Amino acid sequence: MRRCLFCRKPLGKRTDPNGFPLVRAAAYDVGRGRLWAICDRCRRWNLWPIEERAEVIEGLERLARDRGVAIASTENITLLRAEEVGLVRVGDAGLAERSWWRYGRELHRRRVWHDTRFSRISAYVYGALAYAGESVGLADVGQKIRWDEAGLTDILRWRRFGWAAWRGRLNCANCGSVRRALLYNNSAWIYPVATERGLAISVPCPRCDFWSPDTAYRLEGEEAETTLRRVLACRHIKGARLDTIEAAADAIEHAGSAANFMRDVGSAATSLWRLDPIRSIGLEIAVNEAAERRVLGGLAKELEFVWRREEELAGIIDRDLT
């Protein structure tokens, strides 16, 4: 059993048929014939012996090609996910970057969890406690407990997300009224709006015209993105069926990218209430993908920095061995 050269932890309790440890992440370079096992504990790169690389690299390349999904890339490396293994491939993997599949799995997990007996019992218990608190004057006065199917879902929403998706201070540009919070109960009236800097959200002012996004409170930038992600997660707490998720993913693919899909939805001047389930699910997937792409883009740059250092060391070691 081989150990990490840096922390001395075993690289893997099991190995593949070629003797390579089944680590959570590996890096390889087809062109130069480099292979690294990335330690699960310290995340350091362990250069694999030169005489044992060829078959392992071939297997990793086949895994990346058949089951890999590119999730981020730079000019020199591609970060992929293949089953449960993270792969850092030096060079272009020839795969389109897609991250919507992770959110599709998350939406499906939500549906499975929502339909479990545990979630139903949890809703009954939480609702009973709230009802008991209301009877002695300790509950929120705005809280209404219903025991039908929709009421139980509302209890789960309330337990997980609370009442407000956003808190702060916004002034209506038309009448000057002040909004200090955006409640989940009113979130259906949010209008996604496409701008040059990305997606913003407008919340119609009830004093001016509740039905018009033109006279509205406006959130932009990361604040709008974070609020919209919370609202969509709350609205979709029941998750979605696989056919709906696949249709939403197809809609994103048809638009060309998650950014294009968000722009299309934001240009339609449509509130969340009027979005059909496919576009609504697609919007959550696209907004989360946009947020994750920024994070993964930074991770890919960090990995490229590490790769450059490891490549220099590998070049020296391989020259000495040959």
Lowest mean pLDDT among 1-10, 91-100, 196-205, 243-252: 91-100
Place of tokens 């960090």: 302
DSSP 97: B
Q: Look at residue 139 in the predicted model and tell me its pLDDT.
A: 53
Q: Look at residue 145 in the predicted model and tell me its pLDDT.
A: 54
Lowest mean pLDDT among 94-108, 137-151, 206-220, 286-300: 137-151
Q: Look at residue 294 in the predicted model and tell me its pLDDT.
A: 83
Q: What is the spatial distance between Cα 294 and Cα 228, in angstroms, rounded to a whole number?
A: 17
Give the 3-state secondary structure of residue 153: helix
pTM of the predicted model as reported, rounded to 2 decimal places: 0.74
pLDDT level of residue 214 (50, 70, 90 thresholds): low
- CB within 8 A of 197, min separation 6: which ones? 220, 221
Provide the residue type at 49 as one letter. P
Whether 284 shows a pLDDT value over 90: the answer reads yes
Maximum mean pLDDT: which of 73-77, 124-128, 208-212 = 73-77
**Which residues lie across from 250 on neighbouring strands?**
none
Q: Look at residue 130 in the predicted model and tell me its pLDDT.
A: 61
- CB within 8 A of 49, min separation 6: which ones? none
Q: Where are the alpha helices (DSSP H) in 203-276?
A: 221-235, 242-255, 258-266
CB 185 within 8 A of CB 168: no
Q: What is the spatial distance between Cα 76 and Cα 72, in angstroms, rounded to a whole number?
A: 11
Whether 148 shows a pLDDT value over 70: the answer reads no
For the chain, give every domain's residue range.
1-97, 163-294
Mean pLDDT of 67-88: 89
pLDDT level of residue 40 (50, 70, 90 thresholds): very high
pLDDT level of residue 147 (50, 70, 90 thresholds): very low
